[in-house]
Amino acid sequence: MKVFKTKMEGVLLIRLDVFKDLRGEYVETYNEELYNKNGINIKFIQDDISVSRRNVLRGIHGDNITWKLISCLYGEFYLVVVNCDSGSSEFGKWQSFTLSANNRFQVLVPPKYGNGHLVLSDTAIFHYKQSTYYDSSRQFTYQWNDLRLNIHWPIKNPILSKRDELGRYV
């Protein structure tokens, strides 16, 4: 695996090794020892998957204590990571990544950062590991088109949940 710093403090882009032969591919999506050797010393305790169809946009969601390791198991999506720390001089800064089953990238998202994704393929499977158990009472949500963030999304009318449309729990 290769680990790359991004333009955002604490956000890492990880390229997994893919072993191919005549049978297909083999990818190790997580190995604690290997991640520790690469300076990623985070204990992950929960895994989650969402399956969505083309033009579904989920997020911007996060909390102040959870690390997330995000990958695409099937299909392709446009991932946006946003600094949501209102006390940071970098508040509102964002970066986008395209994750797919073909490129095998992962993105490590620190606490106080939110993430959202737009499905680009007919179907996509979004996978993430978390360093804490999910607790909706800790979550923050920003609207996908929040003017303060000025995020570029490659869509004008995505399919949204009420939470994502309003930028809050309903």
Residues marked as catalytic = 61, 128
Token pair recorded at residue 2: 């290769």
User: What are phi and psi for residue 92, nearest 5 degrees?
Assistant: 90, -15
Q: Count, in order, helices (H) and strands (E) of the chain.
A: 2, 13
User: What are phi and psi for residue 115, nearest 5 degrees?
Assistant: -140, 150
Q: Which regions of the chain does DSSP assign to beta strands (E)?
A: 2-5, 12-15, 18-21, 24-27, 46-53, 57-62, 68-74, 76-83, 94-100, 105-109, 113-119, 123-130, 140-141
